[in-house]
Structure 1
Amino acid sequence: MVTTEPLEIDSCQLMHLLVEAQKRPLVLDCRSFLNFNASHIRGSHNVYCNSIVKRRSKGAITLDCILAEESVRAGLRGGRYHTVVVLDERSLGFASLTGDPTDKLVLSTLLSQLDAHSVHTYFLKGGYETFHSLFPGMCTQIAKPCPQGSPGESPVFRSTPLYDQGGPVEILPFLYLGSAYHSSRKDSLQSLGITALLNVSSTCPNYFESTFQYKCIPVEDSHVTDISAWFREAIDFIDSVKSSGGRTLVHCQAGVSRSATICLAYLIHAQRLPLEEAFDFVKRRRGVISPNLGFMGQLLQFETEVLCR
């Protein structure tokens, strides 16, 4: 239960804060990871509470459980934010929340752990749906990837393997997934702002070592390969490139099994997503992904370790 109900704010008031306030408010979006990445208020942060956390909570949890980004947690505790706004898809107000939704748990956590005199916590009336309808220019809109192998393409394009068609796909703003062919196209990599490549194979060459940062994970696409032994190293590499302002392309030969597995492991760890949701998210962006059964079993084990922790 929330000991003190949060204040409420409407879309126009939030817009005023985003534009006029001396200190920009922290906007916490409690919608699903898929919906958030399809479109969200610029500068907002997605919070996600998996089912295990919800079952174990007693009305409030720690900030670490709802905010994956350490810098945001530090900012909340260090006084960087004077205002926090929590939103969902379309709830009319705090009183309309029923059951145990994520936003109610997030609000409970904020109200119990933050000093109400220094940080004001608000709930957005009408949610993202209303804000987006009024101020679409303040929201991001992720373009849907073009369908691969679409009718009307040239015979040359049709002869190209499906996994090499198009280019690398954006998984997160700093993380891309593709094939070895995509890793060989220097102009394309540079146009996407990619600065590092994570080569998940023992045979694919590193084409441009004088231009990009490389890391190799020399594994085979076999159900007996222990790719999970490399998860931590791969995640640290992606994070290190991100922290330096760069972007990483993860690839193997086809961008179907090995590199997709690494991207799924990263989403499970960094976003605390269940494997099923992470898989759906990546599949929508790169429809050809298909980790082998051995890799899927290792991802399930990794999901258990991460989410239970």
Structure 2
Amino acid sequence: MATVIVQQQHTLRHSTPPPSSMTSSLVTNSRSSPIPNKHIPVCPTGPAPFDLSDSDWSPSLPEGCSQVSSLLQSAHMRYKRISEPPSPIVYSLDADQLAEAMKHLSSQPLPDPSYMFPWLHGLHPDNHMQLNFFSSRRKIQRKPPKNWRGLTIVKLGGELDTYRLKGAVAPEDVLSPQGCFLNPDPPQAFSVRNFQIQGAKLAALSDIVVYGEPDCCKEELLLLAQAFAVAQEQWRYKHDPAQDLGWYNTFILTTPFPQIEQKHPEIVGNDFRGIRPGEMWDFSYWERLEMSIMSEVSEISKNVWLGPTPHWLGNTADRTLPKDCEYDLIIDAYDMAQIPGPRSLAMIDKKIEEIGPQRMEFPSSGVLYLKSGNNRETEDIINTVRWIHYLANPEAELMDQGNDAAMKSTKKPRKVLIHCNDGYTESSFLAVVYFMFAENLRVDDAMIKLHCEKQRNFFLYQTDRMVLSHIQPRLLMECPVPLYGPQTSQFSDWFKKTDGSLPSRILNYLYLGNLNHANNPEMLWKLGIRRVLSMGECITWNPEQRVRWGEDNLLHISIQDNGIDELCHEYNRCLDFIQQGKAEGTATLVHCRVGVSRSASICIAKVMQEYDISFPRAYCFVRARRLNVIIQPNLRFVYELLQWEEYLNKKKGNPILRDLEWTYVCREIALLNKPYSRR
């Protein structure tokens, strides 16, 4: 005999609750903690397509491909020198000049990725794994690219919560204690997702602007600027003795920060209070906003609602509810909760009748698992969902008891909200098990109906699937009006092949998934998916399945997630394939092996095109809708998506004007991923 045990998880606790709608207030001045059970999957790089070994190759610039233009070059002709000889050269500039320089830089096309990669991946001379990987695939560029010119803003003191300019970094982020530029290339291990090194790596190829808070010491500010000027000179002698890369300059910003806030709020990251004015280019903010939009509260069954934690609910330790709470019962799903027993339910029921709205707890998705023993917890789960159902549908209890006067009952139906921080991570198990009971459905049918008809995104884990499969016979037996007998209680073939998760719905006509999803055509058909776009990984369907779908509805793109293969040349082909499905009123699944890099990049490109939004917004849009699997396009794919943004602007006749620069984008992605990275 089997039973259900609550598995206690001690890591990855709750995130800051997202808002329940677009108009809800969001916490934007601090990073949210990781959401439980989310993870960064491993992305295989695939086989080597090349076998070349020239390891010190640096491409020469083709005719007409010069270094990125900057208003800060030729500084001796445009800006005033404020350091006296023989001190290192430092210039001054004001907020108007800085804002103009930043806008000019954002209007310059990014250099062709063939001149930036694999150098941007990080090629430490001692990291033989990284060097050998790239040298086996293509001539490897170890020298810095000749056509990059960036802009790095450094704040004296390094306190970045307040008085922060857009993209500003601390001195120690780019400068070593010895006074030279950091070498952030990892000395060991292999990765094509070194987002965290980009700011420090490109600082040496950038003009430097140093500033401080209004009361900062001017002498210290000048000393910091001179330290950077010395570092630039040392780096040039070591890495560019022929001066092929041009001359990078160091500046001190002379405009006080309060004046910058008034005249140029567009270049302010955090104001003096730590608040981001205007557009808030904080990826964690946009991710939480997109989560709240995606998982907005909706009714999944009569009087039972599912959604994110309401912003008015406050701290989980505070048991009080607003007097005007629209729900009679608020169910908090989180990983350390216990399954309520009969006495707890009776007590809550009494308090609802006598006092008003109440809260209760239920274990999170992914923390229940099966173990041989007694079945007390199984009965507690069934009792809980039965009690919720009768609370929301009091007439059902009387009907279940055979009372002909059921419809004359005066007991008030209660409204119930099942919630968690993001609206699905922790509440999916309870939502599905309740939906099975209330709608008299097997788990496989409940998943399809909840997803397609109720338009709810949810995520079940393998352990959830096992528990639901185990309790299904008892659950259906207890339904008010059982619909399934023994002959119809068998699971569908597609459900037997799945680990419990469905592919992620990015748009109504666009799904993102992994190879297992793609190799489950029956499940795809149930979801209304009729086209499959395979990014590098081949589906293994039998001939009958291919005939049923039609070869015109299957497209395979040969691409590896190795940080070298180019994806941008396949954008139009892939997006046309997806658009054709939309025109035919059907959905397309885009997949690779794990559904986070190659296929995610195509989905981001499509969202940018569909909604006319920038890469940062589209990235957060897709990231939120991939649910518990965190998307991980490699560095090159992200770089190409920024170029795709440039292309879309040109196509509309608009000038290139990036919302965020490469190093800013990389830092935000690294900060988003850091809580989930394996230690």
Normalised TM-score (structure 2): 0.23
Greater radius of gyration (CA): 2
